[in-house]
Structure 1
Amino acid sequence: MSTAFAEAERDARGLTDIVEILTGGTHPADHVHEAVVTVMGEAGFDLSGNVPREIATEELESCDYVATMGCSTLELDADASEVDVRDWALADPDGRPLDEVREIRDEVRARVSALFDEIEREVLPSA
C-alpha cells in the first residue's frame, strides 16, 4: 500500500527525478493479501500482480527515509544514523475485515502524504 501511494505522491508532486522509492520487507509475505488487493483496487491501484520482496539492510542504509509498518525487525548499523526511520506501527491487514483494512489503507495514505510534505520542503525549499 505504502509503495503505491508513495509512487503516486512522487509523480503528482513532480519529484520523479529526485525521489527514488525502494520497497520490501524484512520478512515479506509470499503474496499480497487479498483484502489489500481489494481495498487498493477501490482506491484505483492494481496490486494483483505484485509480489512482496525482501529488502536488504544495505539498501535501507542507503535511504534518507525508511518507513516501517510496525512488524519490522529492522536493525540499521549505528553508522547509518542519517537514515530517518519512521515506525508507523500499523496493524497487519492479514485476516482483518475489509472495513479495518480500509482504515489501515487510509492511514497509510495520510502518512505517506505527510512524509512527502516533509520531503518536498527539504528538496524544494520554496515549497
Structure 2
Amino acid sequence: MEKIAFVCVGNAGRSQMAAALAEREVDNRGLDIEIVTGGLDPANSVHDDVIEALQEEGIDISNREPREITPADIENATHVVTMGCSVEQFQPDGWDGKSETWDLDSSDTRDQLSELNRRVTQFFDRLQQEN
C-alpha cells in the first residue's frame, strides 16, 4: 500500500488541509493509499479558520489535533509533501521515497485551501498516471 505524508511546521493549517483533501481524493477515486500528517513543532490545536474553511467544503476535521511527524511515519512513506519545512529535517536514514515542497503564496486560509485543492487533485492525477 502506498503511503503519503503531508508535513508542515505546526500541523495546524496547511498540512491538515492537504491531508483532509487527500483523504477525500482517496475515497472519491477508490484508492488504497494511507494518508498521514504531522508537523515539526505541533501547535496546540488546529486553527479555527482551517476547520471552518474545510467545513464549507463538506469536510469535518474538528476532532483532529496537531501531531509531531516522526521518522517512523516516513520510513515506509512513498511520497512526502512538505510545506514550510524540508523532508531532510525529519527523514529516517535510507529513506528512498519521493518528496516535493509546496510553497503557498497566500496567507489567507481560503486562498490556501483553494490552492491545496488544485495541487492535491493534480498530485493524485500524476500518481494514477504513474501506476
What is aligned with 2:22?
Answer: 6
Is 1:115 matched with 2:123? yes
5+ long unaligned stretches in structure 1: 94-99
Question: What is the aligned counterpart of 1:87 among 92, 101, 104?
Answer: 101
SS at match of 1:22: strand
List structure 1 runs of 4+ shifted beyond 4 angstroms. Answer: none
Which shows bigger deviation, 57-66 or 1-10?
57-66
Aligned residue identity for 1:14: G
What is aligned with 1:21?
Answer: 35
**Matched ranges for 1:1-127 at <5 A:** 1-15=17-31, 18-71=32-85, 74-77=89-92, 79-80=94-95, 82-90=96-104, 100-123=108-131
- Whole-Å Cα distance in 2 between the matches of residues 75 and 23 of structure 1? 13
> How many residues are treated as equivalent by the alignment?
114
Aligned residues of 1:66 and 1:85 also touching (Cα < 8 A): yes
1:107–1:72 distance in 2 versus 1, CA, 3 Å: same
Aligned residues of 2:72 and 2:92 also touching (Cα < 8 A): no
What's the RMSD between the two structures over aligned residues? 2.0
Deviation, structure 1 residue 20? 1.1
- Whole-Å Cα distance in 2 between the matches of residues 4 and 47 of structure 1? 8
Q: Once the two structures are aligned, what percentage of the paired residues are identical?
A: 38
- Whole-Å Cα distance in 2 between the matches of residues 91 and 37 of structure 1? 20
Deviation, structure 1 residue 4? 0.8
- Whole-Å Cα distance in 1 between the matches of residues 75 and 66 of structure 2? 19
Higher strand share goes to which structure? 2
CA deviations 1:2-43 (Å, max 9, x no partner) are 11100100011110xx21111211211110001111111111
- Whole-Å Cα distance in 2 between the matches of residues 19 and 37 of structure 1? 23
- Whole-Å Cα distance in 1 between the matches of residues 128 and 23 of structure 2? 14
Aligned residues of 1:9 and 1:116 also touching (Cα < 8 A): yes
Deviation, structure 1 residue 78? 5.4
